[in-house]
Amino acid sequence: MHIVVCVKQVPDSAQIRVHPVTNTIMRQGVPTIINPYDLFALEEALRLRDRHGGEVTVLTMGPPMAEDSLRKALTFGADRAVLLTDRFFAGSDTLATSFALASALKKIGEEFGEPTIVFTGKQTIDGDTAQVGPGIAKRLKLNQLTYISRISELDPETGSITVERRAEGGLQVLSTRLPALITMLEGSNEMRRGTLEDALRAARAEIVTWSAADAGIEDLTRCGLRGSPTIVKKIFSPQPRSEKAEAIDTTDLSPDEIARSLMGALFERKPDLETDLLHFAATQFDQEVGHG
């Protein structure tokens, strides 16, 4: 079984600043990390490999310095790392990024074996679009499982997988055939500590580095800024709220009285909320009566 995990090197969001004049992200001096959501994907891939055998390949697209994140992934136990780097990829949006990564995944299949599962995090902390994973799945015609909180069962012999997916209003249990692309939710597992052996191996490992041509990309108009129809109009830091927290004295009040006090304060501050809730309740009641 061959599992590929797509990761991204991102600026540490805790230290990002926005330029007050240009409204662009100031990346100078900001440390980079592996996108935190991608670590849940990597750990799940390593767990499947430990149980069922096979290899885990880590793939990223970025500048040469993104090699640091790949070596970090190797210290956790990944078997191989591939860096897709080329000046033609600069400025890629989700459409161009998914195209380039899908091309690299095809090349990985030719060089190291077709991926049984492709993992990504649910989204990245610098874009928060959650579009790259599904975009890759669409281009490679992979069955798509998004927002996965748990892998319940995997049978490599029959090529089937059963997962739990977090959705609005509850939990979905889904089964599909492999190969598939899975985007993992946060909190689905805990990243392991790398062993000393893996750390030493990561330091010596040769990172497979491909340009656009190496990955078999012929149409460069689909890469970078030329292949990115997305336009970022403005980036800004939200203004701090001037409102202060209001303290409500609940001494000697029963739970029901506390609830009424809190709701009264909330409706006083947001009068439209009470009307909206009453309208929603009436609509739900009408629907239930109608279906009954």
CATH code at 124? 3.40.50.620
Residue 27: the pLDDT is 67
Q: Judge whether 148 lies within some domain.
A: yes
Residues 133, 272, single domain; the answer is no
Query: Which tokens in the block code for residue 233?
Result: 């109009």
Secondary structure tally for the chain: helices H, strands E: 7, 13
Residues of the chain with pLDDT under 70: 18-27, 236-237, 288-292
Separation between Cα atoms, residue 101 and residue 130, nearest integer Å: 15
In this structure, is residue 249 part of a structural domain? Answer: no
What is the reported pLDDT for 283?
82
Residue in 197, 215, 253 with CA at minimum distance from that of residue 79: 197
Q: Which two tokens stand for residue 35?
A: 């996108």
Q: Are residues 162 and 285 in the same domain?
A: no
Q: Are residues 103 and 43 in the same domain?
A: yes
Q: What is the pTM of this model?
A: 0.78
Same-domain pairing of 213 and 261: no
Residue 245 lies in a domain: no
Q: 98 and 171, same structural domain? A: yes
pLDDT value for 86: 95
Same domain, yes or no, for 267 and 207? no
Overall domain count for the chain = 2
List the domain range (segments joined by +) for residue 267.
255-291
The verdict on 165 and 27 lying in the same domain is yes
Same domain, yes or no: 167 and 267: no
Asked if residue 87 lies in contact with residue 226, where contact means CB atoms within 8 angstroms, the answer is: no
Are residue 46 and residue 96 in the same domain, yes or no?
A: yes
Q: What is the CA radius of gyration of the chain?
A: 24
Residue 213 lies in a domain: yes
Residue 242 lies in a domain: no
Residues 62 and 204 in one domain: yes
Give the closest residue to 145 by CA, choosing from 174, 121, 168.
174
Residue listed under structure tokens 């599962």: 117
**pLDDT for residue 268:** 82
pLDDT of 275 reads: 83
Q: Are 224 and 186 in contact (CB under 8 A)?
A: no
Same structural domain, 100 and 44: yes
Does residue 86 share a domain with residue 214? Answer: yes
